[in-house]
A = this chain, B = another copy of it.
């Protein structure tokens, strides 16, 4: 009964960091060999990071990526390595997986299904591959796929694998996170494993890249579609697992299937490897709130660190959004790297101010105070005449928010701290936020977190640590922007549970207004919410990036024109 030891290296690659990425890959090759692995795999485009976007249009970038691949090839003595990279052939670019053994490139596979929807633009860069690749080692037949290849029902690779007579399917991926995505991956892989009647090895990327978080969670699945080994999520690891094949399918066979084009080749096997004990299997699992929270932490940490920053600055209003943002930042970077600033105005209550102080104390972060009253009065003095002496309304609320934005950015410029903004998805959706004010900053940690989920995550933070991190008064106080006396969010917006349900239907499920009304929501409320979402596209277009945690985030996921008579009803 042939056995193969497979190592899946779940690395945190950075886009364009060729030396760091290849050092990680080479280190994992050594580690896998030391562990007695026959084969080690790496995520999709692991040499260049994912997604490289228009860097792929630069010849120098492609060449550096191929040079790094060469260096990796030279480190593959007595082991097989499957490495994801961009391939460049006859003037065309492919999303590729190279198979190396003993410093030789045995084969290269070109991804066939290129996603070009949602956050993906792969048809902008890549040519699609034309054939399946199968290789054999120790009498065991492997079938290569890259990410999307397994997601297309009735697609080329699904057809190929059915007739291929293979024992192990390898899928190298850069599969971005959203809440619940792991279950989808398992379902998808399970279907593919059963179609191929083969073990399934899913090797995902880990780490944050601009708005995307790759959550790792690589796994091995048996031919019945059951997960038999799993890697941790949200951190790097090498998952090593012994697959025993009771009865290899068709050793020595030539092609992948009868009806599909394909190439097949044989690799050497090394029987004298020292095979150490495998580490105990990972058993940790994440609940819904856990996985979202960890994605926010990883996405924030990687954005800050990979962009060369050490410290971040957060405006603490005493409200729940900035509190949750600060907690995430502390988990991402440590309390010594998070600075809070509170900027009280004439409308700031004593309670919110003292809550900001308690939060900072609970988190052990530095807190700066810069009152804005005098600055605001100077604005009033300078503008009263040209503003027709009308002092109340949106214009004056926004002046205050923009004074705060200016102070945050001044501190950022002076000390080199990155400003984290604190807006949630609900308020960004309806435009209940000030452009250049509370939207000013480099990274919007919770921009894809609806307000009701902000509450859940905040309670989860306190519950999971068994003590109050976010002051209880912050969680129970009705949300307010505190830009005029007695202001409450619900004066301008529907109650958040209702708002979030409507937003979920409209933004994430892309339902038409009438469908949402038919589901039982008040017609006027629905129309009002949708009108606000549509009118505020221009604001979102100028907002900072932030972690995607839902199936459809604002940004690259949802590309709408600003000039748009359809949604804005200007026709």
Contacts and interface: CB of A to CB of B under 8 A. Distances in A.
Interface string A527-571: 000000000001001111100000000000011111111111011
Interface in A362-378: 368, 370-372, 374-375, 377-378
B64 A566 contact: yes
A145 interface: no
Which of A379, A398, A558, A564 counts the most chain B CB atoms within 10 A?
A564
A124 B423 CA distance: 30
B210 A61 contact: no
Interface in A395-411: 395-396, 398-399, 402-403, 405-407, 409-411
Nearest to A370: B382
B399 A55 contact: no
Nearest to A567: B16
Interface stretch (A79-87, A97-105, A153-161, A303-311): A303-311
Interface in A430-447: 435-436, 440, 442
Contact of A413 (B368, B398, B407): B398
A302 B372 contact: no
B563 A15 contact: yes
Interface string A88-123: 000000000000000000000000000011000101
B406 A570 contact: no
A247 interface: no
A515 B103 CA distance: 33
Nearest to A120: B124
Nearest to A385: B370
A63 to B, nearest CB: 10
B386 A379 contact: no
Contacts of A403: 406
B561 A510 contact: no
A18 B57 CA distance: 37
A383 interface: yes
A60 interface: yes
A571 B18 contact: yes
Nearest to A513: B60
Contact of A407 (B18, B382, B393, B567): B382
Contacts of A307: 538, 562-563, 568, 570
A444 B58 CA distance: 28
Nearest to A368: B386
Given A20-B571, A375-B375, A564-B16, A559 B121 contact: yes
A508 to B, nearest CB: 13
B413 A20 contact: no
Q: Interface size for chain A: under 10, 10 to 19, 20 to 34, or 35 or more residues?
A: 35 or more
A309 to B, nearest CB: 11
Given A116-B123, A375-B375, A55 B564 contact: yes
Contact of A409 (B49, B398, B564): B398
A398 B410 contact: yes
Interface string A407-427: 101110110000000000000
Given A14-B563, A559-B53, A563-B302, A571 B19 contact: yes
Interface of A: 14-20, 49, 51-55, 57-61, 64, 116-117, 121, 123-124, 208-210, 302-303, 306-308, 341, 368, 370-372, 374-375, 377-379, 381-383, 386-388, 390, 393-396, 398-399, 402-403, 405-407, 409-411, 413-414, 435-436, 440, 442, 510, 512, 538, 541-545, 558-568, 570-571
Given A16-B565, A54-B560, A409-B436, 16 more contacts: A14-B570, A16-B566, A16-B568, A17-B566, A57-B510, A121-B121, A210-B563, A308-B570, A379-B410, A382-B407, A386-B411, A387-B414, A395-B411, A399-B406, A405-B436, A409-B435
6 contacts: A54-B560, A121-B121, A374-B378, A375-B382, A379-B410, A402-B405
